Amino acid sequence: MHVLEFHEPILTERLMLRLETDADVDAVHSWQSREDVCRYLLYAPRDRDTVATKIAENAGHTRLESSGDYLQLGVQPLQGGPLIGEMYITVDNAAFSTLEIGWVFHPDVAGRGYATEAAQALLVLGFETMGAHRIIATLTPENAASVRLCLRLGMREEAHFVEDMLVKGAWEDTGVYAMLDREYELGE
């Protein structure tokens, strides 16, 4: 798998995926502070200071090479305005050329295809630019919108682990969806 040093935003038909900056704190806080959004995430709703700290921490992550390396990218409409969501891509297992992608979007933009468009851009990045063998998405199976997104992307369910993660004091199930490079090539 090729090393990626992220410098330039990723542009799609309607979106720009870019590193987040201090100027994005209010936009990111607008969804990271919501209970309904954080319901399926690993963290509880965040205050503004925590969001600012996380954005600053993530800004230093621009290289995908080793297991655990990640990019946290803000999603902004090309027409302008604040961020509407976030995407991440992480090296799940460098030895096996496996990446993981994930997403969170403000509920106000649900149903417009933004998550699909942004996730497709990360599949292109992972398979075409980096040469990944496999890309996975790990989610809470009760998150029907994310399950539908994985299926729209052409991913298949590979596993459903029962109460395998302790999240915010409760045991949660985990679903794993995946796509191989050869499946991606067939779907183009």
pLDDT tens, position by position, 141-162: 999 999 999 999 999 999 999 9
| 3-state SS class at 82 | coil
For the chain, give the mean pLDDT: 96
Amino acid 128: pLDDT: 96
Assess whether pLDDT exceeds 60 at residue 106. Answer: yes
pTM for the model = 0.94
Assess whether pLDDT exceeds 60 at residue 188. Answer: no
pLDDT tens, position by position, 47-58: 999 999 999 999
54-82: buried (b, 16+ CB within 10 Å) or exposed (e) per residue? Answer: bbeebeebeebeeeebbbbbbbbeeeeee
Query: Span 177-188, mean pLDDT?
Result: 88
In angstroms, rounded to a whole number, what is the distance separating the alpha carbons of residues 64 and 5?
7
- Domain annotation for the chain: domains and CATH numbers: 4-187 (3.40.630.30)
Amino acid 112: pLDDT: 96
Q: What are the residue ranges of helices labelled H in 113-180?
A: 114-123, 144-153
Tokens representing residue 76 in the block: 């902004």
